[in-house]
Amino acid sequence: MKRLMLKKIGLVILIGLILSFSCGGKVTTRSNPTKYKFTINGVVVKDLSLGKDIAYIKVLRDSVAFDTAVVKVGGYTLNNQKGGKYFKEASTLFNFGQNVSLSISSTKDSFSLDTSVIMPGSFYINQLPLDGDTLNPGGKSVKVTWSISLLASGYFLTVATPDIVPGAVGFTKLVKGNEETILPDAFRTTQGSLVEGVYELYVIAYYGSFLEYPGMIFELPIGLPTNNIENANGTIGAGVVAQKKRIRVVVAQ
């Protein structure tokens, strides 16, 4: 009789456990909110071509856009743009060479991330060796050099193709030093046909890494560093975009 009673009690406990895991949302809710996985991706930029400083951070919690974080960059609180996007721009937010602090927090989730990046120094693209300053008849190769940006981890060069004449291959590449040659293929289609128009040349000095931000029209190269944040997933970087140059490609006479 006692053994039968123990079996019945065990069966009741087992059924109760099964029901507790299969019914109701409260049981499956995390008891410890710090177990949420946050992903932070962002960049702080001095874009000399746009004439703006920009801070842009995107926050995900468990891969879902998170809109209730408090995001501060360099002493400024970023505006919540919804969709997990936090943004601020102005003519001046940061100084060249500044150690820029970043703080992302959610009190409700007991989450706080404090880190920093360094804004590289100012630099410029040197005069291009082209006929008539920017004229490139026949779409020949173009050697590009630029001044050194202090504190930069590296550089990349990118050529934005003309919007009105689609089809050009373009050019984007990570660069270790301060010079690179744009090959003629950048001004042609994949079939080798010349694409006339005005191409925009950008050189970016980055620290840590670099990511896309609102208003950016050039492409990022393959191979930029990723996953450089401690205690969270994601990537944060800083960069200076030098004043752009233009290359006007025409058919050779």
Amino acid at 216: M
Q: What is the pLDDT of residues 93-115, one digit of tens each?
A: 999 999 999 999 999 999 999 99
* Backbone angles phi and psi of 6, in degrees to 5: -65, -40
- What does the buried/exposed string (b/e) look like for 11-50 if buried means 16 or more CB atoms within 10 Å of the residue's CB? eeeeeeeeeeeeeeeeeeeeeeeeebebbbbbbbbbbbbb
Q: What is the pLDDT of residue 165?
A: 62
Spatial separation of the C-alpha atoms in residues 43 and 235, rounded to whole Å: 8
Give the model confidence (pLDDT) of 152-181 as tens digits. Answer: 999 999 999 877 666 788 899 999 999 999
CA 44 to chain CA centroid, nearest Å: 9
Task: For 213-229, write each residue's pLDDT tens digit.
Answer: 999 999 999 999 999 99
Three-state helix/strand/coil letters over 179-220 = EEEECHHHHECCCCCECCEEEEEEEEEEECECCCCCCCCCCC
Please report the domains of the chain, with CATH numbers, ordered by start residue. Answer: 37-118 (2.60.40), 135-250 (2.60.40)
The dihedral built from the CA positions of residue 154, 157, 160 and 161, taken in this order, carries a sign that is negative
- Residues 119 and 93 sit within 8 Å (Cβ to Cβ): no
pLDDT tens per residue across span 3-60 = 444 444 444 444 444 333 333 332 223 334 444 599 999 999 999 999 999 999 999 9
In degrees and rounded to multiples of 5, residue 213 shows phi and psi of -140, 160
CA neighbours closer than 13 Å in the CB half-sphere of residue 34: 5
- The span from the CA of 88 to the CA of 76, in Å, is 8
What b-and-e string marks burial along 73-108, b requiring 16 or more CB atoms within 10 Å of the CB? bbeeebebeeebbbbbbeeebbeeebebebbbebee
